[in-house]
Amino acid sequence: MTDNPSLLNNPNLDDWLIILPDGDIEARSGKVDVGQRISTALAIIVSEEMDVDLEHIQIAPPATIGFPDEGMTTGSNSIEQSGHALRRAAATARRHLIGIAVEKFGAPAECLNIKDGLIGVTGTNQTINFAELMDGGGFGIPVDPNAPLKPTEDHRWIGNAATPRHMTEFVTGAFSYVHDMALPGMLHARPIRPPHANAQLIDFDPKVTAQLTGDGIIIVRNGSFAALAGEDEYALIKAARRLAETAEWDLGDGLDTEDVFQRLRDNEHLSLPVVDGTPVDDPAPALRDPPPDAAQTLSARYERPYVMHATIGPSAGMAVCTDTGIEVWTHSQGIHSFRASAAEALGVAPDTLTVHHALGAGCYGHNGADDAAFDAVLIARAIPGRPVLLKWTREDEHAWEPYGSCMAAETRASINAAGQIIQWSQDTYSDTHRGRPRPDPGGDGPARLLGARYLSDPARAFSAKPTMTRQGGLHRNLDPYYDFPDTRLVKHLVRDLPLRTSALRCLGAHVNVFALESFIDELARAAKIDALAFRLNHLSDRRAKTVLNACAEAIGWGDVAAEGHGLGLAFARYTNSKTYAAVGVDLSVDDAAQVHLNRVVIAADAGEVIDRAGLSAQLEGGFLQAASWTLYEQVTFDESGITSRDWDTYPILRFDNVPDIETILMERPGDAPLGAGEAVGGPAAGAIANAIFNATQIRMRRMPFTPDMIRAAAAADTN
C-alpha cells in the first residue's frame, strides 16, 4: 500500500515509464521543472533503479494528456511524490523486465545481470535490450509500491553530482522558453491593464483605435479586459502603452492606502486555532495568563510587507483556438488546475483545453504565469486559427502578479527561573496564500484568473476560504518544532486587504519562522543563555540538533566575531516534516546602515540525497531569494495604483551582496528523501535579523531591513 497521492491517482506503470524503440526510457512525471531541477533528480532515480545511463533517460515537460496528473508542483513535494512514485515504477519495471528475460533465456533470475539497459546471462555473451524485451508493447501492470529497491550500497547515481539537464542549452541560448516559441502564423500579443485593480475601462480613444487598426493591429476587448495582437512585437508594446494612456478609465475609489500593518490589526478576520500544525474549526482560545512559575514573560510583533515573486522573465503564454479545441502552453505550476479554472471561466468542458507545460523564468510560486496563459486564451478565442504568444511587460508583472501577503506575527512566551520556555503563544495575521487556479465548480475558480475578473460578465469577487490542511497557507511552520509546553497557536485570515495575494515560495513559513527564530533569540537573551544552547535545550529531535550544531560550528559560533561583524543563527524543519535546515549568517552593518552579507552556512538534513548539486543549489538559491525579501523588498502603492513597477522601484538582491555560502549536507543514505526547495527561507530571515542584532543591538521586527528601516528601529529603541 502507499499513501502517495501520485501513485494512488496514477497506479499504472505505463503512466510513468515508456521503453522507447531505441531502448531509451521516457520517464513521465506530472511535476514541472521550474528551474528547481526536479527533472534531473527524477532522471537520477530512474537511472539508478533501472541501471540505465543518465543520458538514456528522457523527460519531457508534462501536458494534461499523456502524463500522470500529480496536481500542482508546490510545497516542496515533488521528490516525495513524483520521486517516490517513479522510483517504485522503475523498480517494478526492472523486476518485470527481468521476469520476461527469465522466460526468454530460460535462465533463472540469479543468473541474469542488468547493465546499461541490457539484460545479460552472466558468464555468456547473451544479452537483450529493454526494447526487444518489451516487443513494442506496454507493461500493462500496476506499479508495485513494495517492489524491491536497489540496495543503497549499489547506488551509482543517487547522491552523486550529475550535470543538470538542459545546461548546455541554457548556456548557448538554444533552450526554448514559452517566450521563445514560434508557431506558424503566430501573432504576438500584449494585454492592456487598467491603472489599478479597481479601475474599469470606459472606452478607448476612437482616433487611436482607428490608427492602430489601420496599422494591422487587432484590438481584442471584452468588458475591461483588453489586449492587442499583431505581427510586430515592438510595435505592439508601443501601441499598448499609447492605447492605455489615451483610454478613458473609471478609477473608482482607487486603492485603499491605509497602512497595511494597521489593516492587519484592525480588519475583520477569521481566527482559527492551529493544533499539531492543522487548523481546527473551533473558536480561537484567548491568551492565557502566564503560568505562576513564569520568571519573565516577553511579547513581540514581527511584520512583513507585501513582497513579489519578481521573476526575471515577465509571464508569457501561448494559445491557439481551433475547431478541435484550445491548446495552451504555459509556465504555470499547475496545468490541470489551470485547465479546470480556465474551462469554468470560459463555460466550456475541461477537455476542450489541452495544456502543455513550457518553461518560464524561475521565482517559485503563483506568479503571472496562469494569468498570462488565460489572457492568451481569451485573445486566441477572438482570433481563431492563429497561435497567440502573449507576454506581459516588466510593468505588468510587477503591478499585476499575485503578491506574497503582508503578514504580522505576534508572539508571547514565558520562561521560568531555569530559562526554560513554559508557555508559548503565536498569532499570525495574513491574507490568503491560496489564490492559485484550482478546480472549484460553481465556486471561485474563474476569480482566480486575473483576466476573468475584468470580462463584461466578470467572475464574482474572490473570497478566500481558510486553508484547513496541515501546514497549509499562512499557518505553515506556525507550529514550533521545538518542545514547548502549553502552546497556543492561532491563524487569522484577514479580510479586505488592498492587494491580490497568492502562493509565494515558503508561504507563511517565511514570516512564521522569522518571528519564532527572532523571538527565541530575544528570550535566550532575557534568560541570559547562549542562543544556540537555548535552542538545543528545547529540542529533542537528534537530527534537528545535528544540523544546528554543524551550522554553529561552521559559522564560528562562540568565537569572537570580527570587528563590526554580527553572527546569527536560526533553525526550522520545513512543514515540521520535510528538510531540517539551520542557517548561520555573518554580516556587518556599515555607517550608512547598509547590511553586508559576508558569510553564510546552511546545514541541512534532507534525508537521502538524490541530486547533490541540485540540492545545494536549491538551498542556496532559497537563501538568496529569502535574503532579498528580507533585506530589500516591499511592494509600494498609492491611490493611483502600484508604484513599485520596475527594478529601480522594487530592488532585489544583486551580485554586490552575495555572501560566500557553505552548505553542509547530512548523509542519510537509504532514508526517505525530503523536500528541500523551501526549507531555508524562514531560517534565512531569522538568522539575518539575529545577526543584525548581534552586530548593532538593534532588533529588526519589520521587513525589509533597509537602512531607513534600521535607522527607524534604532530610533524607536532609544525612545
- The 3-state DSSP class for residue 113 equals strand
In the list ligand FES, other proteins, none, the entry touching 386 (Cβ below 5 to 8 angstroms by class) is: none
Taking the least distance from each CB to ligand FES, the nearer of 506 and 516 is 506
| CA distances for 686 relative to 205, 341, 519, 526, 577, angstroms | 52, 37, 9, 17, 19
Least distance from C-beta 111 to other proteins, angstroms?
Answer: 41
Taking the least distance from each CB to other proteins, the nearer of 131 and 661 is 661
In the list other proteins, ligand FES, none, the entry touching 8 (Cβ below 5 to 8 angstroms by class) is: none
128's enclosing H/E stretch is: strand 127-129
In the list ligand FES, other proteins, none, the entry touching 215 (Cβ below 5 to 8 angstroms by class) is: other proteins
Task: Give residues 347-366 in contact with ligand FES (rule: CB under 6 A).
Answer: 361-362
In the list ligand FES, other proteins, none, the entry touching 646 (Cβ below 5 to 8 angstroms by class) is: other proteins
With left for phi above 0 and alpha for psi between -120 and 50, is residue 314 left, alpha or beta?
beta
Q: Given the DSSP bridges, would you call strands 353-357 and 325-330 parallel, antiparallel or unpaired?
A: parallel
In the list ligand FES, other proteins, none, the entry touching 360 (Cβ below 5 to 8 angstroms by class) is: other proteins
Taking the least distance from each CB to other proteins, the nearer of 360 and 472 is 360
Give the span between the Cα atoms of 67 and 62, in whole angstroms. 6
Least distance from C-beta 35 to ligand FES, angstroms?
Answer: 5
Least distance from C-beta 44 to ligand FES, angstroms?
Answer: 20
In the list other proteins, ligand FES, none, the entry touching 180 (Cβ below 5 to 8 angstroms by class) is: other proteins
Convert 349-376 to b/e letters by CB count within 10 Å (16 or more is b): eeeebbbbbbbbbbbbbbbbbbbbbbbb
Least distance from C-beta 647 to ligand FES, angstroms?
Answer: 8
Least distance from C-beta 361 to ligand FES, angstroms?
Answer: 5
In the list ligand FES, other proteins, none, the entry touching 608 (Cβ below 5 to 8 angstroms by class) is: none
**Burial class, 1, CB count within 10 angstroms (exposed 0-12 / middle 13-18 / buried 19+):** exposed
| Nine cell digits for residue 153 | 550500497
Least distance from C-beta 628 to ligand FES, angstroms?
Answer: 12
- Can you list the alpha helix ranges (DSSP code H) found in 428-540? 509-527, 531-537
Taking the least distance from each CB to ligand FES, the nearer of 275 and 312 is 312
User: Is 319 a residue that touches ligand FES (CB under 6 A)?
Assistant: no
- Sites of contact with other proteins (CB under 8 A): 34-37, 163-164, 166-177, 179-180, 182, 188, 215, 232-235, 237-238, 309-314, 359-363, 391, 393-394, 613-614, 617, 620-625, 646-648, 652, 654-656, 658, 660-661
Least distance from C-beta 78 to other proteins, angstroms?
Answer: 15
Give the span between the Cα atoms of 716 and 699, in whole angstroms. 10
Q: Read off the DSSP letter of residue 613.
A: H
Taking the least distance from each CB to other proteins, the nearer of 428 and 616 is 616
Least distance from C-beta 485 to ligand FES, angstroms?
Answer: 44
Task: Give residues 24-53 in contact with ligand FES (rule: CB under 6 A).
Answer: 35
In the list ligand FES, other proteins, none, the entry touching 175 (Cβ below 5 to 8 angstroms by class) is: other proteins
Give the span between the Cα atoms of 183 and 624, in whole angstroms. 36
In the list ligand FES, other proteins, none, the entry touching 41 (Cβ below 5 to 8 angstroms by class) is: none
In the list other proteins, ligand FES, none, the entry touching 623 (Cβ below 5 to 8 angstroms by class) is: other proteins
In the list other proteins, ligand FES, none, the entry touching 27 (Cβ below 5 to 8 angstroms by class) is: none
Give the span between the Cα atoms of 656 and 647, in whole angstroms. 15
Total residues at interface with ligand FES (CB under 6 A): 4
As a three-state string, the secondary structure of 646-714 is CCCCCCCCCHHHCCEEEEEECCCCCCCCCCCCCCCHHHHHHHHHHHHHHHHCCCCCECCCCHHHHHHHH
Please report the beta strands in 611-653, taking only residues with DSSP state E, as ranges in sequence order. 637-638, 641-642
5's enclosing H/E stretch is: helix 5-9
Least distance from C-beta 660 to ligand FES, angstroms?
Answer: 19
User: Is 312 a residue that touches ligand FES (CB under 6 A)?
Assistant: yes
Taking the least distance from each CB to other proteins, the nearer of 165 and 492 is 165
| CA distances for 353 relative to 340, 347, 356, 439, 637, angstroms | 9, 12, 10, 14, 36
Taking the least distance from each CB to ligand FES, the nearer of 98 and 617 is 617
Taking the least distance from each CB to other proteins, the nearer of 359 and 408 is 359
Give the span between the Cα atoms of 684 and 705, in whole angstroms. 13
The amino acid occupying position 168 is: T
Taking the least distance from each CB to other proteins, the nearer of 525 and 596 is 596
Taking the least distance from each CB to other proteins, the nearer of 17 and 379 is 379
Q: What are phi and psi of 688, to 5 degrees?
A: -65, -45
User: Is 544 a residue that touches ligand FES (CB under 6 A)?
Assistant: no
Least distance from C-beta 182 to ligand FES, angstroms?
Answer: 19
Please report the beta strands in 482-632, taking only residues with DSSP state E, as ranges in sequence order. 487-494, 565-573, 580-589, 595-605
Least distance from C-beta 75 to ligand FES, angstroms?
Answer: 20
Q: What are phi and psi of 42, to 5 degrees?
A: -65, -40
Q: What are phi and psi of 683, to 5 degrees?
A: -60, -35
Our CA dihedral for 130, 133, 138, 141, rounded to 10 degrees, sits at -100
Taking the least distance from each CB to other proteins, the nearer of 206 and 214 is 214
Q: At what angle do helices 707-718 and 681-696 cross, to 10 degrees?
A: 50
Least distance from C-beta 666 to ligand FES, angstroms?
Answer: 26
In the list ligand FES, other proteins, none, the entry touching 237 (Cβ below 5 to 8 angstroms by class) is: other proteins
Least distance from C-beta 617 to other proteins, angstroms?
Answer: 6
Least distance from C-beta 394 to ligand FES, angstroms?
Answer: 7
User: What is the largest distance, in Å, between two alpha-carbon atoms of the chain?
Assistant: 87
Q: What are phi and psi of 76, to 5 degrees?
A: 55, 35
Task: Give residues 472-531 in contact with ligand FES (rule: CB under 6 A).
Answer: none
CB 531 within 8 A of CB 571: no
Taking the least distance from each CB to other proteins, the nearer of 95 and 242 is 242
227's enclosing H/E stretch is: strand 225-230
Q: Which residues bind ligand FES (CB under 6 A)?
A: 35, 312, 361-362
